[in-house]
């Protein structure tokens, strides 16, 4: 057998950290990544990557690049034709985020997860996610971004911003410019917090132009003109509290029924005592009759006497 040649070493990025530039795995899977074609998933977790893996398989719909020293997302980092629906960049110390990182002219990206990926290194002053199809920011944390001044989320498919995200916006001291234009806002009960925040916040540019995309009855209505009566939302009910109240009420009713029952017994104690004595006497007479018949059947002499008496 001919000796096998050793595989060439992986190229290194500046600083001596490995970068995904080596040979691809099975079925076009990038090196150092794990791929599942049935699940349409590629996972590059804790692999010390400093760049986005090239040559992603065409079937990818969920891409996880988490726990790596990835600091920059330059323009074209994710080609639009290979961008998944779900992108998780959690645990990467991002300091530079290009608006063209997801390609030019739009992309199929729907969910972007950035848990712990945005850190305050004094570099990330502007964060933009333009011309994409984002429908939600999952697990996005803006904590520690004391230098963030501008946040551009326009031209996406955002339907709502939850209160947890709005609270983070309020806590950023340098954030003065937020752009939310051209998103598909769904004006149902979930948008109440966003509407209230828009009315009181001076961070949002062009907020007068934000309008509802659905439902049909709210189509084109300005978010700033929405009132609670327009949404027709019922007051949310705290189910555990409701159950606790029901249990208390049930206990009171049962206690009242028990008290009434005891009161009836007490008021009729003499009649109940007489009734119990009557039952006892009746049972005793009945048992004595059975006992007498048993003695007759058990003694032949008494049986003959009984027969002669009958004759």
pLDDT (tens digit, 9 = 90+) per residue, 14-57?
A: 333 333 333 444 558 988 899 999 999 999 999 999 999 888 89
pLDDT at 247 over 90: no
Q: Measure Cα distances from 155 to 144, 150, 203, 209, 212 in Å.
A: 26, 16, 18, 13, 14
Q: How far is 259 from 56, CA to CA, in rounded Å?
A: 75
- Looking at the chain, the domain(s) classified CATH 3.80.10.10 span 71-234
Q: E-strand spans in 136-227?
A: 136-138, 150-152, 177-179, 185-186, 204-205, 212-214
If you average pLDDT over residues 60-71, what whole number do you get? Answer: 90
pLDDT (tens digit, 9 = 90+) per residue, 269-278?
A: 888 888 888 8
Lowest-confidence region among 33-47, 94-108, 215-229: 94-108
Q: Which CATH superfamily includes the segment(s) 71-234?
A: Ribonuclease Inhibitor (3.80.10.10)
The reported pLDDT for the residue numbered 89 is: 83
Higher model confidence: residue 311 or residue 195?
A: 195
The reported pLDDT for the residue numbered 77 is: 84
pLDDT (tens digit, 9 = 90+) per residue, 4-13?
A: 333 333 434 3
Q: How far is 87 from 112, CA to CA, in rounded Å?
A: 5
Contacts of 112 (CB under 8 A, 6+ apart): 87, 89, 129, 134, 137, 138, 140
């Amino acid at each position: 057998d001919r000796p096998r040649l050793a595989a060439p070493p992986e190229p290194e990025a500046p600083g001596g950290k490995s970068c995904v530039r080596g040979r691809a795995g099975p079925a076009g899977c990038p090196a150092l990544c794990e791929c599942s074609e049935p699940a349409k998933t590629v996972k590059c977790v804790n692999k010390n990557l400093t760049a986005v893996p090239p040559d992603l398989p065409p079937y990818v719909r969920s891409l996880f690049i988490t726990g790596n020293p990835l600091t920059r997302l330059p323009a074209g980092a994710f080609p639009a034709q290979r961008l998944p629906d779900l992108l998780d960049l959690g645990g990467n110390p991002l300091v530079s985020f290009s608006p063209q990182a997801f390609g030019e002219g739009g992309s199929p990206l729907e969910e972007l997860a950035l848990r712990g990926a945005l850190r305050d290194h004094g570099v990330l002053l502007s964060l933009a996610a333009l011309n994409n199809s984002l429908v939600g920011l999952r697990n996005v944390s803006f904590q520690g971004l004391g230098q963030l001044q501008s946040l551009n989320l326009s031209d996406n498919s955002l339907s709502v911003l939850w209160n947890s995200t709005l609270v983070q916006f309020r806590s950023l001291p340098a954030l003065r410019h937020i752009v939310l234009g051209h998103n598909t806002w769904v004006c149902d009960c979930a948008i109440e917090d966003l509407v209230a925040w828009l009315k009181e916040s001076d961070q949002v540019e062009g907020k007068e132009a934000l309008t509802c995309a659905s439902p049909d009855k709210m189509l084109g209505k300005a978010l700033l003109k929405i009132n609670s009566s327009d949404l027709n939302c019922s007051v949310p009910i705290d189910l555990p509290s409701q159950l606790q109240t029901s249990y208390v009420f049930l206990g009171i009713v049962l206690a009242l029924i028990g008290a009434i029952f005891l009161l009836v017994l007490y008021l009729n104690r003499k009649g109940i005592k007489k009734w119990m004595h009557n039952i006892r006497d009746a049972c005793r007479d009945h048992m004595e009759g059975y006992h007498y018949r048993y003695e007759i059947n058990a003694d032949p002499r008494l049986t003959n006497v009984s027969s002669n008496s009958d004759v």
